[in-house]
Structure 1
């Protein structure tokens, strides 16, 4: 049974871990998202801890930034089970930052579709980096 939850423990809050993620992480873009990810050095309570951000420069009003972050978290919550399956299968823990780089707010269906693509690409990136380290 899949759990479509997004609890407090799944959010990335540790300043030390966030700094490490932004300094040592790998990134890619699936418009309108930019993703920064890295393997966690320590075991986490969940396979992935996530932080979302929206640019204050592009969205001046906090209401719009908060709405976009809510939509991003909702899209992630609905699609994370595939990533969790992959990570549990390979015993990996991940730190993840999802940044919204679009210039305007897109409809939820577009955001959801792009989130699905983003998580699939992340699984492929992890698979290729895991294979590279084994050889």
Structure 2
């Protein structure tokens, strides 16, 4: 299992971020708002992920960075739960809580998000066929 999170799996291009926010779907699972956009054309089955922590909710940059690092680490360790099946997906994980969560708590929140995303992508695949 590849546990890396290379730049190719991070969403950083302005065009793709705008596409995610304008055309993507979303759902809320506390403490995350999850945006996702499944690209129409066939791809190589990768997910590009955006991690965001609100400056309004967590004022100190060091605390925001701590939460962002924890979220990245939980995603990196559990990204295998996303079954993409040759679909390219853009995902945005937006942290909306004002609390600093521990690693274990974040993990218990992100795992159901990844499972739900996987089922949504599978349902979209079956509808398109």
TM > 0.5 fold call: yes
Aligned-pair distance for 1:91? 1.2
Match of 2:9 in 1: 10
Aligned-pair distance for 1:30? 1.5
Across the aligned residues of Structure 1 and Structure 2, the Cα RMSD in angstroms comes to 1.7
Match of 1:115 in 2: 110
CA 1:12–1:73 in 2, change beyond 3 Å: closer, same or farther? same
Cα deviation 1:60-118 (Å, max 9, x = unaligned): 111111111101000000000121xx21xx21010011000112011110101111111
More helix as a share of residues = 1
Correspondences of 1:41-60 after superposition (within 5 Å): 41=40, 47-60=46-59
Match of 2:30 in 1: 31
Q: Under a length normalisation based on structure 2, what TM-score does the superposition of the two structures give?
A: 0.92
Match of 1:72 in 2: 71
Secondary structure (helix, strand or coil) at the match of 2:11 reads coil
Q: Under a length normalisation based on structure 1, what TM-score does the superposition of the two structures give?
A: 0.88
Secondary structure (helix, strand or coil) at the match of 1:93 reads strand
- In the alignment of these two chains, the number of paired residues is 129
More strand as a share of residues = 2
Structure 2 unaligned regions, length at least 5: none
Structure 1 unaligned regions, length at least 5: none
Match of 1:126 in 2: 121
**Within 2, Cα distance between the matches of 1:24 and 1:67?**
30
